[in-house]
């Protein structure tokens, strides 16, 4: 059966990589697209609309969203209310937003897969980090991105930190509340108390998107790092895998790792 895709953000950096891949996949069809600057045109034969509400007049099965942090939540809610499942690539939403979307998805009997990073190798970084956190207590995250990235931390770092905070061992480092000087230099915290995970976001020219988990133990250190290059190719296969699988459950799942096995 062909899965009909509604792609929000079709003219963007990721969207432009996804449209030919959807068109080339025998089991997928680009039914409609959203991009304000291309409204009224066609992409890979599909009509492009300025708003999600207009695009939802075209029958579709799955919303794929790669737009902006300020637009994505309303897009997903509109899609769920219209009976679609949703794949969320856009960054910016946190645990509280996903709790709300989870309630809506369950009410509507639809699935959502949100991943801070749809790259398979970045997903392996998350898996290896969670594995190492079972054995090494102290871990912090560095989030590398370009100078103009509008949100911090990145969706990749945020998802990693929120998941890690749920499973990590208590830190042995001095609590930030007891640090003198400028405590903000210890980064942003996700989670509670000694299980909080600190994230340090760098925004500099020459970086595209990278994340590093640094584990420290007495007299030794482990770094696990992923760096994406300048094309959006790493995100295509994982996004399409999610679009194919997302009708298989109800509610929100976070992370491509939940699909890999
Ligand atoms: N999860 C992952 O693996 C992953 C990977 C890469 C990027 N991302 C995230 O995905 C998002 C998109 O990244 P990108 O680099 O592709 O961005 P981009 O190049 O700026 O593209 C954004 C797209 O969304 C559309 N758009 C923007 N605001 C909109 C609105 N209010 N309503 C409807 N359409 C809107 C834009 O078209 P118009 O301006 O013409 O409307 C454009 O097509 C970002 O949040 C980024 O951090 C996630």
For residue 47, the CA-to-ligand 1 centroid distance in Å is 18
* Total number of domains in the chain: 2
Q: Is residue 217 scored above 90 in pLDDT?
A: yes
For residue 67, the CA-to-ligand 1 centroid distance in Å is 3
- 47 DSSP 8-state letter: E
- Residue 261 confidence (pLDDT): 72
For residue 89, the CA-to-ligand 1 centroid distance in Å is 9
Residues 126 and 185 in one domain: yes
Q: Which of 37, 56, 67 to mutate to test the pocket of ligand 1 (most atoms within 8 A of CB)?
A: 67
Q: Are strands 197-203 and 138-145 parallel, antiparallel or unpaired?
A: parallel
HEC-encoded secondary structure of 14-34: HHHHHHHHHHHCCCEEEEEEE
Whether the CB-CB separation of 67 and 50 falls below 8 Å is answered with no
Which two three-digit tokens encode residue 174? 């001095």
Which two three-digit tokens encode residue 46? 């599909």
Confidence of residue 189 (pLDDT cuts 50, 70, 90): very high
Residues 190 and 91 in one domain: no
- Residue 31 confidence (pLDDT): 98
CA nearest ligand 1 atom 17, residue: 12
Confidence of residue 116 (pLDDT cuts 50, 70, 90): confident
Report the Cα 151 to chain-centroid distance in Å: 12
Confidence of residue 128 (pLDDT cuts 50, 70, 90): very high
Q: Given the structure tokens 């997302």, which residue do they identify?
A: 246
Residues 167 and 222 in one domain: yes
Which two three-digit tokens encode residue 49? 């609309």
For residue 90, the CA-to-ligand 1 centroid distance in Å is 7
Residues 109 and 207 in one domain: no
Could you give the residue ranges of the DSSP H alpha helices within the chain? 13-24, 52-55, 69-81, 95-108, 120-132, 155-167, 236-245, 257-260
pLDDT tens figures, 146-175: 999 999 999 899 999 999 999 999 999 999
Residues 110 and 238 in one domain: yes
Q: Which of 10, 33, 35, 259 to mutate to test the pocket of ligand 1 (most atoms within 8 A of CB)?
A: 35
Q: Which of 18, 34, 68 to mutate to test the pocket of ligand 1 (most atoms within 8 A of CB)?
A: 68
Residues 10 and 48 in one domain: yes
Q: What is the pTM of this model?
A: 0.86
Nearest C-alpha neighbor of 90 from the set 113, 120, 111: 113
Confidence of residue 19 (pLDDT cuts 50, 70, 90): very high
pLDDT tens figures, 228-260: 999 999 999 999 999 999 999 999 999 998 998
Residues 124 and 110 in one domain: no
pLDDT tens figures, 71-112: 999 999 999 999 999 999 998 898 899 999 999 999 999 999
For residue 198, the CA-to-ligand 1 centroid distance in Å is 27
Domain that holds residue 247: 3-114+232-260
pLDDT > 70 fraction of the chain, expressed in percent and rounded: 100
- Residue 1 confidence (pLDDT): 86
**The CATH number of the domain where 170 resides is what?**
3.30.360.10
Confidence of residue 201 (pLDDT cuts 50, 70, 90): very high
Helix (H) or strand (E) holding 190: strand 188-190
Residues with CB under 6 A from ligand 1: 8-15, 34-37, 66-69, 71, 89-92, 115-118, 155, 235
- 228 DSSP 8-state letter: E
Whether the CB-CB separation of 212 and 141 falls below 8 Å is answered with yes
- Residue 92 confidence (pLDDT): 87
Residues 41 and 105 in one domain: yes
**The CATH number of the domain where 90 resides is what?**
3.40.50.720
Residues 131 and 102 in one domain: no
Q: What average pLDDT does range 121-136 have in this prediction?
A: 96
Residues 17 and 81 in one domain: yes
Residues 223 and 239 in one domain: no
116 vs 67: CA distance, rounded Å:
13
Nearest C-alpha neighbor of 184 from the set 198, 197, 170: 198
Residues 144 and 51 in one domain: no
Query: Which residues lie closer than 8 Å to 202 by C-beta, 6 or more apart?
Result: 142, 143, 144, 145
State the chain's maximal CA–CA distance in angstroms. Answer: 61
For residue 133, the CA-to-ligand 1 centroid distance in Å is 32
CA nearest ligand 1 atom 8, residue: 90
DSSP for 124-165, please give it: HHHHHHHHHTTT--EEEEEEEE-TT-SSSS-HHHHHHHHHHH
For residue 231, the CA-to-ligand 1 centroid distance in Å is 14
């Amino acid at each position: 059966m062909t899965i009909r895709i509604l792609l929000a953000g079709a003219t963007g950096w990721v969207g432009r990589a996804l449209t030919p891949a959807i068109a080339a996949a025998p089991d997928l069809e680009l039914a409609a697209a959203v991009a304000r600057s291309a409204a009224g045109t066609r992409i890979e034969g599909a009509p492009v609309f300025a708003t999600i509400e207009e695009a939802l007049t075209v029958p579709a099965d799955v919303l794929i969203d790669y737009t902006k942090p300020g637009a994505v939540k309303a897009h997903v809610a509109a899609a769920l209310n219209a009976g679609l499942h949703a794949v969320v690539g856009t960054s910016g939403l946190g645990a509280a937003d996903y709790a709300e979307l989870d309630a809506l998805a369950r009410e509507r009997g639809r699935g959502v897969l949100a991943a801070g990073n749809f790259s398979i190798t970045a997903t392996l970084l998350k898996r290896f980090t969670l594995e190492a956190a079972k054995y090494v207590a102290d871990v912090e995250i560095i989030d590398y991105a370009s100078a103009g990235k509008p949100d911090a931390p990145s969706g990749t770092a945020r998802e990693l930190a929120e998941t890690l905070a749920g499973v990590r061992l208590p830190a042995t480092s001095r609590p930030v509340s007891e640090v003198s000087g400028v405590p903000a230099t210890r980064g942003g915290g996700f989670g509670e108390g000694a299980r909080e995970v600190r994230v340090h976001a760098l925004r500099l020219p020459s970086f595209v998107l990278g994340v590093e988990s640094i584990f420290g133990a007495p007299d030794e250190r482990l770094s696990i790092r992923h760096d994406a290059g300048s094309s959006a190719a790493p995100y295509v296969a994982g996004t399409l895998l999610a679009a194919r699988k997302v009708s298989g459950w109800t509610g929100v799942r976070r992370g491509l790792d939940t699909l890999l096995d």
